């Protein structure tokens, strides 16, 4: 680095409350000139940055997975390789971008060839399925800290492309748009509770939920099919209501969700209503697409989803007043505390 970055943030006073994940990004890493380079069509704040590139836009995203924070130490390495790329392809899907290539940065405590063979197997099986090429990266040893080695850290940066002007963002929803979500929600959150010993599941349900947590399927085909139809798109990584709130803030709108119409993962359907709402509305790691489209496009959205072989459900409406509400089957608002995952909450 040639010079230290200057930023305009004032240092915290001792009485300042601790910053949240999004608060710290806003205060220290979001700078007014961030969008000013002529090649940057969109900078911080969306699933992908969007760059102008001749007749195309490039969508770029990066995601970091850290052992102990994002995955258990005993995770299957093949599944980890899959998931590390899948979460990035999910951001490309949200942008409506066709995956092109990715970069892989790894910090490893030791050279374990069995682990490496499995990890790279999971990574390339998914990469090949989407024609996404590994184009570079960086590899280093994780440090020795105290009695043990530092965590395995996997950072992938992925690039995709769209025709010029056709990338989706979170920012273009309009009041009156219908709100849609793909697939079913809550399986990964239920798997996490099971792993922590908080719930018990029958073996087939357990297997299905673990599969959803460990091997999410990025909705790339749906993202492409929604080009020209959806007004705003985000992928559900932090939890449905939290990600809807991100979309609402970026679009300057509010939303009402019919929570009883939110599609539930099969294993959730026999659980208590409270657990259903906590997992489907506030759980994370679903990697489904949440999007808005005008009501007149309702049939076209269904046709696009069918063509992409991806189920979608209409379950809410965007509105001008900036409130976010989830209603139960009786039309009563559901209390939504802790609506999404914040790494520093």
- Interface with ligand ADP by CB under 6 A: which residues? 25, 29, 44-47, 63, 91, 237
Instruction: Tell me which of 46, 63, 67, 91 binds Mg ion, using CB under 5 A.
Output: 91
Tell me the closest approach of the beta carbon of residue 270 to Mg ion, in angstroms: 30
Task: Return the number of the residue (25 or 164) whose C-beta is nearest ligand ADP.
Answer: 25
Task: Tell me the residue number closest to Mg ion, measured at CB.
Answer: 47
Contact 278, 242 (CB under 8 A): no
Contact 175, 320 (CB under 8 A): yes
Binder of residue 288, out of Mg ion, ligand ADP, none (CB less than 5 to 8 A by kind):
none
Tell me the closest approach of the beta carbon of residue 32 to Mg ion, in angstroms: 23
Quick one: which of 210, 219, 343 has its CA closest to 291? 219
Tell me the closest approach of the beta carbon of residue 86 to Mg ion, in angstroms: 12
Contacting Mg ion within 232-271 (CB under 5 A): 235, 237
Helix, coil or strand: residue 229: coil
Quick one: which of 129, 242, 261, 247 has its CA closest to 184? 261
Contact 308, 225 (CB under 8 A): yes
Task: Return the number of the residue (44 or 307) whose C-beta is nearest ligand ADP.
Answer: 44
Helix, coil or strand: residue 83: helix
Contacting Mg ion within 13-32 (CB under 5 A): none
Tell me the closest approach of the beta carbon of residue 63 to ligand ADP, in angstroms: 6
Task: Return the number of the residue (44 or 145) whose C-beta is nearest ligand ADP.
Answer: 44
Please give the angle made by the CA atoms of 119, 190 and 89, to the nearest 5 degrees.
40
Quick one: which of 259, 279, 257, 285 has its CA closest to 267? 279
Tell me the closest approach of the beta carbon of residue 49 to ligand ADP, in angstroms: 7
Quick one: which of 119, 172, 176 has its CA closest to 297? 176
Tell me the closest approach of the beta carbon of residue 253 to ligand ADP, in angstroms: 18
Task: Return the number of the residue (47 or 214) whose C-beta is nearest ligand ADP.
Answer: 47
Provide Rg for the chain, Cα atoms. 20
Binder of residue 183, out of ligand ADP, Mg ion, none (CB less than 5 to 8 A by kind):
none
Task: Return the number of the residue (201 or 289) whose C-beta is nearest Mg ion.
Answer: 289
Tell me the closest approach of the beta carbon of residue 285 to ligand ADP, in angstroms: 11
> What ranges make up the beta strands (E) of the chain?
40-42, 49-53, 56-66, 98-108, 133-141, 144-145, 148-149, 153-163, 178-182, 232-235, 254-258, 289-293, 312-319, 324-327
Which stretch, 1-9, 88-96, 159-167, 268-276, contacts Mg ion (CB under 5 A)?
A: 88-96
DSSP H helices, 233-297, are 240-251, 273-282
Q: Tokens 């965590």 sit at which residue?
A: 151
* Helix, strand, coil shares, percent, the chain, to 5: 35, 25, 40
As a residue count, the chain comes to 345
Instruction: Tell me which of 47, 177, 184, 205 binds Mg ion, using CB under 5 A.
Output: 47
Task: Return the number of the residue (251 or 271) whose C-beta is nearest Mg ion.
Answer: 251
Binder of residue 46, out of ligand ADP, Mg ion, none (CB less than 5 to 8 A by kind):
ligand ADP
Tell me the closest approach of the beta carbon of residue 64 to ligand ADP, in angstroms: 9
Binder of residue 72, out of Mg ion, ligand ADP, none (CB less than 5 to 8 A by kind):
none
| 63 touches Mg ion by CB under 5 A | no
Task: Classify residue 94 by its DSSP letter.
Answer: H
Task: Return the number of the residue (46 or 288) whose C-beta is nearest ligand ADP.
Answer: 46
What residues line the site for Mg ion (CB under 5 A)?
Answer: 47, 91, 235, 237
């Amino acid at each position: 680095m040639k010079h230290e970055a200057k930023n305009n943030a004032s240092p915290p006073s001792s009485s300042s409350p601790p910053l949240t994940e999004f608060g710290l990004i806003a205060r220290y890493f979001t700078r007014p000139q961030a969008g000013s380079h002529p090649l940057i069509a969109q900078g911080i704040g969306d699933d992908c940055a969007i760059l102008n590139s001749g007749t195309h836009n490039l969508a770029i995203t990066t995601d970091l997975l850290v052992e102990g924070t994002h995955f258990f130490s005993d995770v299957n390495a093949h599944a980890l390789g899959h998931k590390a790329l899948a979460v990035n392809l999910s951001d490309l899907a949200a942008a409506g971008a066709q995956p092109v290539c990715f970069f892989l940065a790894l910090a490893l405590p030791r050279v374990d060839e069995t682990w490496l063979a499995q990890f790279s197997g999971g990574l390339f099986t998914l990469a090949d399925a989407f024609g996404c090429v590994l184009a570079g990266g960086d590899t280093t040893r994780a440090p020795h800290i105290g009695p043990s080695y530092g965590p395995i850290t996997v950072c992938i940066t992925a690039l995709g492309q769209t025709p010029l002007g056709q990338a989706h963002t979170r920012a273009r929803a309009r009041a009156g748009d219908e709100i849609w979500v793909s697939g079913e929600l809550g399986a990964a959150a239920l798997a996490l509770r099971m792993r922590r010993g908080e719930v018990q599941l029958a073996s087939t349900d357990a297997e299905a939920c673990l599969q959803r947590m460990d091997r999410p399927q990025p909705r790339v085909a749906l993202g492409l099919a929604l080009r020209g139809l959806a007004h705003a798109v985000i992928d559900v990584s932090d939890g449905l209501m939290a990600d809807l709130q991100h979309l609402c803030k970026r679009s300057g709108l509010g939303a009402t969700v019919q929570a009883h119409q939110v599609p539930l993962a099969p294993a959730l359907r026999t659980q208590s209503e409270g657990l259903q709402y906590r997992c489907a509305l506030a759980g994370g790691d679903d990697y489904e697409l949440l999007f808005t489209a005008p009501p007149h496009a309702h049939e076209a959205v269904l046709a696009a989803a069918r063509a992409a072989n991806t189920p979608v459900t209409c379950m809410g409406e965007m509105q001008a007043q900036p409130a976010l509400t989830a209603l139960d089957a009786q039309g009563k608002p559901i209390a939504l505390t802790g609506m999404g995952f914040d790494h520093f909450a």
